[in-house]
Amino acid sequence: MPAPSAGVYLDASATTPPAAPVLEAMAAAQRAAWGNPSSLHGYGLAAAELLERSRWQCARLLGCRPTEVVFTSGGTEAIHLALLGVAARRPAGRLLISGVEHPATEAAAAQLARMGWQVVQLPVNREGLVDRDALTEALKQPTDLVSLIWGQSEVGSLQPIADLGQECRRAGALLHVDAVQVVGRCAVEFGALPVDLLSLAAHKFQGPRGVGALLVRDGIALDGLLGGGGQEGGRRSGTEPVALVAGLARALELASEHLPGPGAVQALRDGLLRELLAQPGLRLSGVDPFRDPLSRLPHHISLLVCGRHGRPLSGRCLVRELWQEGYAVSSGSACRSSGSGASSVLLALGYDEAEAGSGLRISLGPWLAAADLAGFPMALARVRHRLSLKP
């Protein structure tokens, strides 16, 4: 098996390698701002200053106010803080989610259900987009909260959040958006969106693991999940990880240099996708980016893979065999990797059990060049041939 350094990394939707300037920013923070930002002496003040400068930088790049930025340990915590934090201020009510949410949203919704909330799951179409008629019908009943994934990690589809958000606003429902796959890859202006809460994670755009943020519209009341020192305006207790936050801010800055508009990563994606779809037995799942480029994540390819005689192949076997060829890919969301068999996301899109087990995800990043991808189509063809020969 090749060493990790010998493989071509094509799994950006799972995590990304931290960029060199991000590591430098974190190292500088560790040297100069290692104090507790709640302390009143010079060491603490240096840490507090860097923390707030990073907050202002994130706010500027995300189109929101600094007071609307709550730093968290990542996307999972941000999602739980959004849903459970808002619910803590209300009697048990009604929550709408889609059928293709991240497991973190599903887990938070299940916790609310145990607390007496009614949780309604909205269907999606064959491309993974929320059924608009179902949303409209569901919002006719009093609804407190809606939580929707903006960029679906397994099939890459981008929900029309501006339109869906306006509909939620008209119905008087708060909207939380899981933007973990979107921030750093598409332009986000929180202040211009009809969205009340938005979650993100640094490691999806070459920042460090272990830090993320929840954007909370000013005036939205929510309780923290943890008691303690009352940091982050009382919304997230715990000593802030200043170096990680500095890395988040630097990673956002680097990502913003390539936004808005299509860039080098999307061009690489489109070229590779054309080559792959020329192979019989490979089908795209999610939105077709050549038909509707604004409705798919710009770095994302998801395929249903068949072998000889049209028999669906195991996505997990494809991942293992492609690593033997020197390519790191995924068979779906890394956060669902503990299970086995068919993808619940692909089942929600209407694929059968065999098809839903044949998913392959290739997700790109700015560390790649065309030369890195040149051998991938033939490697996939070889792997498909080998797996087709197995009983």
Report DSSP letters for 85-124, one per residue: HHHTTS-S-EEEEETT--HHHHHHHHHHHHTT-EEEEEPB
Compute the Cα dihedral for 63, 69, 74, 76 and give only its sign: negative
260 prior amide bond cis, ω within 30: yes
What is the three-class DSSP state of 180? coil
Spatial neighbors of 40 by CB under 8 A, at least 6 apart, are: none
Sequence-ordered list of residues with C-beta below 8 angstroms from that of 391, at least 6 positions apart, any chain: none
Picking from 200, 171, 216, 180, the residue whose alpha carbon sits closest to that of residue 70 is 216
Q: Which of 58, 186, 306, 335 is catalytic?
A: 335
Distance (Å, rounded) from C-alpha 33 to C-alpha 44?
8
Residues 194/203, Cβ–Cβ less than 8 Å:
no
* 165's tokens: 């958000």
Question: How far is Cα 227 from Cα 250, in angstroms, rounded to an integer?
Answer: 29
The burial of 64, by beta-carbon neighbours within 10 Å (0-12 exposed, 13-18 middle, 19 or more buried), is given as buried
Q: What is the DSSP letter of 238?
A: S
First CA to last CA distance, the chain: 23
- Burial class for 384, CB neighbours closer than 10 Å (0-12, 13-18, 19+): buried
CB 239 within 8 A of CB 102: no
Decide if 335 is catalytic.
Answer: yes
The catalytic residue positions are 335
